[in-house]
Amino acid sequence: MLIAILVLTLTNDYEVDKDTINSLLLERTEVLYGIENSMNKLTQTMSRVRNRADVCGDSLSPSFSMGVESIKKGYIDFKQRGVKIRFITEITKDNIHYCKELMKFVEELRHMDGVKGNMAVSETEYVATAVLQESQPITQTIYSNAKAILEQHRYFFENLWNNAIPAAHRIKEIEEGAVPIRTKIFESQDEIIREIRNLNNRADHLSICSSLGGMQMSYKFFLDTYRDMVNRYRKKEQFNKLRWIINIDKDSVELVKAFLELGFLDNAVKFTKTEEDNITIMVKKEEGGGQDNNNQQQVIVSIKDTGTGIDSEILPRLFTKFATKSQTGGTGLGLFICKGIIEAHGGSMWAQNNTDGEKGATFYFTLPLSRQTNKNIN
């Protein structure tokens, strides 16, 4: 080893100073105290970086890097020598000007929320400090050239780097007030409830797909927020803001009914806009017959409004896919889906414009009665 070092020293291809020779001969880890010792060790380590280094620091690290003259000179030297620096920090509105300046000297700067501690690792050395003050020299430095420590902190850094976001994205969020894109996993029920309530209170529409358990939880904790949202947008004549996909069976049907009360009459209300207009709902039991001409007892529900009625061009294909001339943003799928559900349960569905000079239209659907349902209706 000693012969190799002497050979390198006598050539012009490498500059090997005393500290480099010592680092090759002996691995060591030490803590240095005081501004002079700490800053000297840090600046010497920066001067020995050959090709690249990785730096991770808290929100004060950009001000330290750009606000302390000897450290800024080190970054200028990196730039002039072509040394590539990757830097992770927490970018805030208070340090954003330091971050923009730092970006001139590093290969890439990335943001990560809540970064704590400060460290840097190069090809052969590691330095760290626990506490920084804005634009002030450090008073303590941890130094190591031990291979195991270098490898461990390179591994830590790579994990952080892969989860950090580009500085440009974070700076745009701060300067333009953009909502940051985040993915988080909540395990505490209190956190889950709080976040969902906040989401519902901010939302202008919701599309939900859940199991029965999810709907039960929503009914218990969030029903008031769904009701507030639907009512808020009803006043603006904007509807279908709450959409839900769930498997409807005997276990979930009563809960589904409770949610339907929030927006069950959306289509009728859309086309009934003045205070004089009315919506009339009638339910009656029929002893067989009806649309299907069978003998099973059935219930007939009619929903009559006094709105604009059904366009004559649309009426013949009203229950087909995408049949709409709506000016309120309808897709033409709602009635198609409703008819399919009704028919799947053995019923039928149809509609007609009102007669005898009445405005609006009336929608009808039938459902066969089971013995228990028949008993309840009676």
According to the model, what pLDDT value does residue 21 have? 52
Lowest mean pLDDT among 110-119, 245-254, 326-335: 326-335
- Edge-to-edge strands, sheet with 361-368: 279-286, 298-305, 361-368, 348-353
- What average pLDDT does this structure show over 80-104? 95
SS3 state at 337: helix
% of residues, the chain, pLDDT over 90: 36
Domain positions in the chain are 19-176, 190-264, 273-378
Predicted confidence (pLDDT) at residue 133 exceeds the cutoff of 90: no
| Amino acid at position 310, single letter | I
Predicted confidence (pLDDT) at residue 277 exceeds the cutoff of 50: yes
Predicted confidence (pLDDT) at residue 2 exceeds the cutoff of 90: no
- Between CA 358 and CA 12 the distance in angstroms is 102
At 123, the pLDDT band (50, 70, 90 cuts) reads very high
**Which spans in the chain are helix H?**
2-9, 18-25, 35-47, 61-67, 69-81, 96-102, 147-163, 167-176, 189-202, 212-221, 223-234, 253-263, 266-270, 334-344, 371-377
Q: Which helix (H) or strand (E) is 56 found in, with range?
A: strand 52-56
pLDDT tens digits, one per residue of 141-186: 999 999 999 999 999 999 999 999 999 999 998 988 876 666 677 8
Options 3.30.870.10, 3.40.630.30, 3.40.50.720, 3.40.470.10; CATH of 19-176: 3.30.870.10
Beta bridge partners of 30: 143
pTM score of the predicted model: 0.49
According to the model, what pLDDT value does residue 254 have? 80
Q: Are 326 and 251 in contact (CB under 8 A)?
A: no
Radius of gyration of the chain (CA): 35
- Between CA 351 and CA 353 the distance in angstroms is 7
- Between CA 132 and CA 129 the distance in angstroms is 7
CATH T-level assignment (fold) for domain 273-378: Heat Shock Protein 90 (3.30.565)
- Are both 19-176 and 273-378 of the same fold? no
pLDDT tens digits, one per residue of 176-206: 887 666 667 788 888 889 888 888 887 777 7
Predicted confidence (pLDDT) at residue 287 exceeds the cutoff of 90: no
Predicted confidence (pLDDT) at residue 76 exceeds the cutoff of 80: yes
